[in-house]
């Protein structure tokens, strides 16, 4: 079968209309037969069921249930959620430009986007939304509130907010918001640049190219770190364009293969590259998926970059968006994609399910070996394996609880309100003093911070069992001593994990003054991934050894 090299645009949430191929003939009788049966069941239930039914809800539930038996990426998108889906691929929407979260029945503004309506109106992280257009937000989810805040650019929304004890109103004019795909770029030292890419929206490659050009123009750039950690993917065309920045024109980036011949396509670079020689390090983790894996896997296949971090997510599937009646849409998986070495990084076979309906990852023993252009071994069926593995350190229960209970977030808010204009150092250099950390510990005590560990849960089970079996009176002194020692150890955890907690506090505080870019800049100094990337980029022999096949 002749493979097609195309120059069009395709996305990992792919849009477009594709005809049927003569190589595949659907069983129209089976489709028609079961469609007729379903229509009859739906009609009979709605006409004769003993209680009133909601046809729309029944139909949506039936569709969602049907698609859930396929894969997580084949989804029904009702008309009211189509706009949200567009935001994922374009990064654009009409609104105030802020993220929100529901916590304990309250709607908290988590972060205003720098330079957009909420920020220009003076809204700050930590503000609580009380009313919108005169209506209380009690009982509404963050999704509900997000929908209310979004709207056509130029329209106005009145928001009542609470900041500490102060309650005030703001009339904010919605505007066209474009979320940046590159929230931060800068220099790690005099010669090594760093760019973060958080999503593959339609301007991702332009943003990276602009950042890269500026870094080269203003510095003696001798290496670049491209950070794709936590990047869930997006447009396939942008994965090709980003890769094209670092490899030559006419190079294969990815193939797609599906049931229909029209879905077997090869995507090549179309433009003159920016730089095919500069040493590259790409950072990935378990949250790097889809388009991120294409970029990392392709540059790895060409021995163009050292990939550092953890094995990526393993999503080697391509989706296409199909228009449905009444403004709704469906995103359906149509193909798998393959990097230039021939590997498909898809980690889960959704076509084969266990007896309980669950799906399993491809075991390492069944992964097939492929070779990079330089002869290095790479494997399919389980995401992109890094050339240098970075083991994530175990996060303590204390740190997890501080995050879940928004203690890190709330203290940063408190800090900012108490120090509105006192940060004079660059965000990368900001550090909390030991005295300030002690203030944080005292603040936690005032807030009644408490958390439970597995040890604590087992201790409570011991007390319950002892009481039930009539042993408690005999051992209550020992249990009381054990509980006291356990509680003291929990308090000591704030000192044992002091450095980790300080890092998180410093990052969160910097986001109050310098937005998301401040958070990222502050985190780089203690980032193990970045440390390993610098080690490789600054050591020519080490880098060449990694990118050269062993003989």
Tell me the CA distances in angstroms from 139 to 4, 168, 170, 404, one per residue in order: 53, 21, 22, 20
> Given CA atoms 426, 428, 429, 435 in this order, what sign does their dihedral have?
positive
Residues in the chain: 551
User: What's the longest Cα–Cα distance across the chain?
Assistant: 82
CA distance 127 to 413: 9
282 touches 329 (CB < 8 A): no
Which of 486-493's residues contact partners 24+ apart within 8 Å by CB, and which partners? 486/455, 486/456, 486/459, 490/398, 490/451, 490/453, 490/456, 493/396, 493/397, 493/398
Residue 351: its pLDDT value, please? 78
276 touches 306 (CB < 8 A): no
| Bridging pattern class, strands 106-112 and 128-132 | antiparallel
Give the H or E element holding residue 351.
none
- Per CATH, the number for 92-178 is 2.30.42.10
- Catalytic residue, candidates 315, 331, 490, 502: 315
Model pTM above 0.85: yes
User: pLDDT of the chain along its 551 residues, tens only?
Assistant: 333 333 333 445 333 333 333 445 677 888 899 899 989 999 999 999 899 999 989 999 999 999 988 989 999 988 877 777 777 777 778 899 999 999 988 999 999 999 999 999 999 999 999 999 999 998 889 989 998 999 889 999 999 999 999 999 999 999 999 889 999 999 999 999 999 999 999 999 999 999 999 999 999 999 999 999 999 999 999 999 999 999 999 999 999 998 888 889 999 999 999 999 999 999 999 999 999 999 999 999 999 999 999 999 999 999 888 898 988 999 999 999 999 999 999 998 887 777 676 777 888 888 999 999 999 999 999 899 999 999 887 888 889 899 999 999 999 999 999 998 878 899 999 999 999 999 999 999 899 888 777 777 788 888 888 888 888 788 888 888 887 887 777 777 888 899 999 999 999 999 999 999 999 999 999 999 999 999 999 999 999 999 998 65
Residue 9: its pLDDT value, please? 36
Indicate if 315 belongs to the active site.
yes
Give the H or E element holding residue 399.
helix 397-404
Residue 11: its pLDDT value, please? 44
Residue 12: its pLDDT value, please? 55
- CB count in 10 Å sphere of residue 397: 17
CA distance 124 to 113: 10
Indicate if 328 belongs to the active site.
no
CA distance 505 to 528: 18
- Catalytic residue, candidates 199, 205, 237, 290: 290
Question: Would you list the domain boundaries of the chain?
Answer: 1-73+182-328+343-392, 92-178, 397-529
Residue 13: its pLDDT value, please? 37
The pair of structure tokens assigned to 204 is: 């991702």
Indicate if 120 belongs to the active site.
no
Residue 459: its pLDDT value, please? 81
- Catalytic residue, candidates 71, 227, 301, 380: 301
- Per CATH, the number for 1-73+182-328+343-392 is 3.90.226.10
Tell me the CA distances in angstroms from 412 to 218, 404, 409, 416, 433, one per residue in order: 33, 15, 5, 6, 14
Residue 481: its pLDDT value, please? 84
CA distance 290 to 298: 12
Tell me the CA distances in angstroms from 214 to 32, 161, 293, 401, one per residue in order: 58, 39, 26, 41
| Bridging pattern class, strands 175-178 and 184-187 | unpaired
Tell me the CA distances in angstroms from 108 to 120, 137, 174, one per residue in order: 18, 11, 19
DSSP class of residue 384 equals P
DSSP class of residue 520 equals H
The pair of structure tokens assigned to 535 is: 């080690």
């Amino acid at each position: 079968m002749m493979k097609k090299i195309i120059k069009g645009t395709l996305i990992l949430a792919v849009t477009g209309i594709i005809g049927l191929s003569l190589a595949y003939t659907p069983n129209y009788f089976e489709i028609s037969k079961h469609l007729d049966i379903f229509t009859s069941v739906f009609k009979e239930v709605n006409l004769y069921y003993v209680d009133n039914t909601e046809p729309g809800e029944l139909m949506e539930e039936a569709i969602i249930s049907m698609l859930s038996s396929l894969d997580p990426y084949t989804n029904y998108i009702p008309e009211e959620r189509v706009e949200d889906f567009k935001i994922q691929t374009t990064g654009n929407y009409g609104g105030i430009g802020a993220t929100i979260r529901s916590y304990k029945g309250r709607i908290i503004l988590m972060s205003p986007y720098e330079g957009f309506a909420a920020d220009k109106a003076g809204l700050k992280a930590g503000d609580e939304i009380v009313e919108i257009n005169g209506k209380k937000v009690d009982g509404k989810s963050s999704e509900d509130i997000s929908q209310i805040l979004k709207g056509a650019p130029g329209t106005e929304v009145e928001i009542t907010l609470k900041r500490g004890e102060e309650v005030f109103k703001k009339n904010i004019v919605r505007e066209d918001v474009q979320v940046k795909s590159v929230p931060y770029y800068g220099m790690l030292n005099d010669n090594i640049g760093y760019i973060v890419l958080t999503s593959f929206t339609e301007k991702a490659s332009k943003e990276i190219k602009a950042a890269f050009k500026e870094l080269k123009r203003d510095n003696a750039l001798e290496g670049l770190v491209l950070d794709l950690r936590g990047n869930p993917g997006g447009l396939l065309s942008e994965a090709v364009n980003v890769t094209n920045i670092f490899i030559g024109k006419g190079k294969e980036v990815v193939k797609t293969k599906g049931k229909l011949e029209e879905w077997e396509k090869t995507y090549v670079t179309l433009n003159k590259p920016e730089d095919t020689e500069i040493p590259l390090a790409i950072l990935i983790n378990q949250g790097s998926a889809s388009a991120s894996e294409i970029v990392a896997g392709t540059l790895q296949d060409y021995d163009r970059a050292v990939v550092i971090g953890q094995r990526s997510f393993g999503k080697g599937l391509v989706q296409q968006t199909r228009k449905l009646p009444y403004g709704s849409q469906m995103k359906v998986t149509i193909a798998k994609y393959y990097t230039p070495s021939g590997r498909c990084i898809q980690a889960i076979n959704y076509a084969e399910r266990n007896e309980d309906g669950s799906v399993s990852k491809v075991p390492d023993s069944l992964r097939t070996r492929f070779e990079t252009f330089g002869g290095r071994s790479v494997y399919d069926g389980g995401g992109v394996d890094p050339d240098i593995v970075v083991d994530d350190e175990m996060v303590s229960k204390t740190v997890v609880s501080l995050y879940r209970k928004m203690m890190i977030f709330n203290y940063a808010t408190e800090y900012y309100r108490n120090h509105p204009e006192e940060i004079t150092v660059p965000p990368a250099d900001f550090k909390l003093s030991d005295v300030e950390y002690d203030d944080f510990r005292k603040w936690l005590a005032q807030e009644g911070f408490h958390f439970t560990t597995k040890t604590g849960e087992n201790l409570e089970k011991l007390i319950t069992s002892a009481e039930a079996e009539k042993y408690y009176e005999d051992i209550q002194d020992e249990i009381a001593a054990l509980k006291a020692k356990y509680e003291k150890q929990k308090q000591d955890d704030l000192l044992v994990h002091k450095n980790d907690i300080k890092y998180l506090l410093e990052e969160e505080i910097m986001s109050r003054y310098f937005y998301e870019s401040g958070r990222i800049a502050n985190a780089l100094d203690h980032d193990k991934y970045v440390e390993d990337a610098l080690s490789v980029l600054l050591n020519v022999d080490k880098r060449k050894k990694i990118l050269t096949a062993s003989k």
